[in-house]
Structure 1
Amino acid sequence: MSAGPGEGDLPAGIGRPAHRALAAAGYTRLDQLAGRSARELLKLHGMGPKALGLIRIALAERGQSLED
């Protein structure tokens, strides 16, 4: 995993709109997303199913997950 535009350890593959949406909501690190609701994240403007899927994979690699 590589850092997104300018900060944190979010997966780079999620794209800039998703990075911006997460940063605007205060999420800059992957561990901040563990246990968060997938539905909540999808409500953020710029987040989509692809980004959510990549976040799920990255969290799973750490033994963490989103709340469903």
Structure 2
Amino acid sequence: MINLLIMAKCLSSICAVSHVAHSNDFLYGIIAIPARRSLEREKIDSLEKLSDYSEQEIRQLRGFGKNAMEKLKNHMKEHHVSFKN
């Protein structure tokens, strides 16, 4: 019984440590992780920074296929932001 308590205590501390929230939640739940990571690599972490790019420039990044672009454009439209021309 004591071993189970010790084990449970160790597991709960491991879970608490390994579940760290990431500071970059930009577009979390909007587009898939590969597309979000591509934006992160380009230092694009806000809609304002995203609006400095053309749709074609973003489409060339890894993870931005038809589906991701549609979701991104819809999200931008909801927030009254658009790509540069």
Supply the RMSD in Å over aligned alpha carbons.
2.0
Structure 1 unaligned runs (5+)?
none
Is 1:24 aligned to residue 35 of structure 2?
no
Offset at 1:11?
A: 4.7
Question: How far apart are the structure 1 equivalents of 2:65 and 2:45?
Answer: 17
Is 1:55 aligned to residue 46 of structure 2?
no
TM-score (norm 1): 0.74
TM-score (norm 2): 0.62
Structure 2 unaligned runs (5+)?
1-20
Offset at 1:43?
A: 0.9
Deviations 1:9-62 (A, max 9, x none): 325231000011110111112221124211100111222221111111111112
Query: Of 30, 47, 50, which residue of structure 2 is paired with 1:13?
Result: 30
Change (3 A) 1:11 1:66: farther
Greater Cα radius of gyration, structure 1 or 2: 2
Q: Indicate the percent of aligned positions where both proteins have the same amino acid.
A: 25
Runs of 4+ in structure 1 off by over 3 angstroms are none
Question: How far apart are the structure 1 equivalents of 2:47 and 2:26?
Answer: 6
Contact 1:11–1:54 (CA under 8 A) maintained in structure 2: no
